[in-house]
Structure 1
Amino acid sequence: MKKITLNLILLLAINIIANAQLTIDSVSVVKTCLSCDSIGSNPPPSPYGSLYIEVSGGVAPYSFSLTGMHPANSTPLTTTSNNGTTGFYNSLCQDTFTLVINDANNNTLSYTFNTYPPTPPTLSIDSITVKPDSTNNPNSGYIEFHVTTNADSVFYMIQDVNNSLNLGSLGGWQQTPVFDSLPGGYYYNLYVDIYPKVYPNCNNGIDSGATFFQVYVPLACENTGFADFFYNDVCLYQSVNFLDNSYAGDGAGNNIVSWYWDFGDGMIDVSPTPLPHTYSSPGVYNVTLVVQTSHGCTFGQVHQVTVHEIPNSSFSYQDNGSGQFTFNDLSTVNNGVIASWYWDFGDGTTSTSQNPVHQYASTGSYFVCLLTTSSFGCADTICQNVSFITGVNDLNDYSKIKIQPNPTQNYITVPNVAYNQLIIYDVTGKEIEKFNQNTSVVDVKEYKPGVYFVKLITANRVYDLKFLKE
């Protein structure tokens, strides 16, 4: 009787142990960046996720059925285990899954999990301050980061781009966002790193490595120095005067040591103050000045210089009889408009009308000149001989007055006429020489080749002549 009772107790104990509650002993879930919409790609754009799980209790064998919320995971993935281990579900995409576990006695246990990675910490660089260092050393700089982050820890590091400077304690990772007393005139690589790390991060936030920036710390002269120059717009054939107005910038002993001028027409100069420059054609020229300082700063400036076209002065005239002449302006200009006219009728009288009518008081040949000025202040002169002749005697008298030799290379002989004044002009109306007494020979060897006009003023009349200098 005692033996039967003992066996019954042992059987009950074994049955209670075998029917112990199902429990999960361990779980390992590998997260993934693979979207369930992309699982048909070959190869997939991201690695798969997986599940490993161990259970105990209940009565073996165990059955496992895995389903997900995404349509791609609606068909259950089933497996059976005799030892309470599922093996691997190793082809999981991003989804929320439910694993249902049943034992031989239909005891059920559910486990819900997802394969989405957790949101990694974020970091944004709001600004980076660069200014002179705290000791007011003009050739050193100070950098400070201003960041926003939800990370547990932030670390900063700095290096010069060529990694050639010994930055001492500033060369390693630090938790302060300030770097002081950095040598100026260098580019620096700045690194920012945050913790904890999250893997994978699916391109969202910062997971590993460091965020990289490049910042330049200027020399003192770069903060305040500049290149500049004065200049003037001109008319064609006039010279432009350039005057340097650059500043080397701060820093003890800092001076400008070199200048480079590019006048925009293929000509250059390397002097501090170049000679006046003359352009050969009208237009707008980009003039560049580059200066370098003894502290290593380089500055440049570009200004546009305008060379205005000059007018083309021209006129015709009509002899109305009795010494009256009508003068018609035919001048043109391609840049701006003709703004003013100045007529010299060769008899001591002038006019500022565009198309004047003039009355001569006595017969003779008159050297008439027209000076036109454009709206940009550019001027041009044209001169012509105008003869007021009333009879044969005037013609005979005028025909006797000649300059010889003509053409000439070295000298001219003035007609044997008692004159009070002799004036020589070039074709622009510019006075070249003036003689106030009788001179029979004029040396013209130094004259430029071209046509010249001679005004011979006697007591009774004015003769206008011309000669060609070869």
Structure 2
Amino acid sequence: KLVVTNALGCVDTSVINDVVCGGMQPTVNFDATPVDACIDSDVSFTDMSSPYVDDWFWMYGDSTFGFSQNPEHEYVDTGSFDVTLTAFHHGCSYTFTKEDFIHTLAPKAKFTLERLCNNPYDIALESTSVGADEISWDFGDSGTSMDTSSMILTNYTYQDTGAYVITLVAHNFTTGCVDSAMVDYYITDPKAEFSFEVTEGCIPLTITPTNNSVFAQEYEWYSSNGSFSQTDIAQPAITFSEPGSYVEDIHLIITDINGCKDTLDYSGEIKANGVTTDFSATPPVGCQPTAVQFQDNSSSLFGNIVSWNWDIGNGLLTSTDQNPSYNFDTTGVFPVMLTVVDDWGCENTLNVPEAVSVTKPFAKFKGDTLGCTVMEMSFLNQSHGTGLTYEWDFGDGTIATDKNPTHEYLTEGIYTVCLTITDANGCTDVFCRNDYVTVANPIAGFASDTTSASCPPLIVNFENISQNATTYKWDFGDGSGSTSIENPIHVYTIPGVFDVTVIASSNAACQDTFTIENYISLDGPEGQFDFEMDSPCIPAEVMFYAESNDFYTYIWDFGDGMLDTTGFKMADTVAHQYVENFDVIPTLILVDNQGCSRSINSLDSIS
């Protein structure tokens, strides 16, 4: 008993009864009756071992065994045999052997049988009995008076097929024992026989022989040309997948229960008829719209085509004519399916997924429309189609074949551009853009309402007289920058003589520049000044120095509300004290004797 308790206090118990047994080695002995016996007689064995023995194991000496306490055993051959008994008590054992204990007495009846397949009713027998003083045969053919024999070697001829029991009885005069041997035997006369009810038809043609063979246990079918071989089937299916006339030598070999064979050879013509579906389309490729003529080219090996069923373009046209036609008015790749039947009833279908191709290319393009004679103009192809080739006519006598060409016109003018495309089927389309390209070189030019003044400011209205241009860039010569206004107004504030330039463009590649040197002349005082400051701390003393190109009145504006005016001179030096915190820009005003004044601002501020 095992008791198990876990950490939670749960308990389980397992009990196995008689798990350990203690045994004693037994005393072993036995006897048998009779110890001298004829073959196939029952020999009774008696256990004489200790009474507490619980298992027995007998070895009879003829490679057989037993496990009961007092067994019976039949010996099937002559000889002397050792007998061994092993007795057990709770696993403890002891073995005891009696040598040459049992003697089986002659005779032992045995014989061999030979059948001659070429004489299926004849058998040859030979007695191989042991210890036989006399033998007798019984051939089991009760219907004849010649059914017995006492010869060791004997032949017998049966009158009919059937199942027979052949018996050999052997006698030994000394022992008085008799033994017999029996064999169940079948007399057969195998005959291979078959025929074909169907020998022609449509592929796949399957023919099945009618098998009338007798006494066949195994079958082997084959053809002389190796096209067919099959075993273990009485009526095989023979299939001809390809059309043709087959002169077949078909053979059947049967084997009966005794291993004897018979063969039947069949020779005859088998016609496997087939229909070959074929057609042509003229033309197979074309341009929308296109008329296509279909020509049936089908054939039958042994018959004649008698019906046609066309499906053109997945239902665009169904026809039972032999050679129909159809006008394709849409583009695409069209399948064609033809089913034909011959006068044998054989049928075949051909489906060509891409039998007819109808195309219509679509030409289109866009490109640069305004250019000049030094510009390469680009054209973008927007055409649709398969396997396209291109021919561009730029209207100036030149041709290009690129998909997306560039072209440089050498002469100004207005040009019509045409694109001709051709697809893989030879179909074409032409697309023209009339008066599409204008080639004109820009010519820059300008005029103005005034070009000079004696005193700033000078306000000038410029008139743009450029040609073949869409954009403009002006430079007024006074460092004031540029403008893109077509007809600008510009104010000159600094005396001087100025060049004026306009750049006229039709695009980035086409432009012209027009400049008039010394076009603007503006008179008036010219001068400059500077200053020095020792310390920025107030009160701050600043010295101003000025000079001019002529005699002017100097008016100083110090930026802190204080002014200083000096007489008519070409240079001036003044001092000024700043007494408050300021960030000021001083200004010098020059005034000539005509009253024309000009203000000059300092480039730096005073802090």
TM-score, normalised with respect to structure 2: 0.31
Of Structure 1 and Structure 2, the greater helix share is in: 1
Of Structure 1 and Structure 2, the greater strand share is in: 2
Work out which structure has the larger RCO, using CA pairs closer than 8 Å and 6 or more positions apart in sequence: 1
TM-score, normalised with respect to structure 1: 0.38
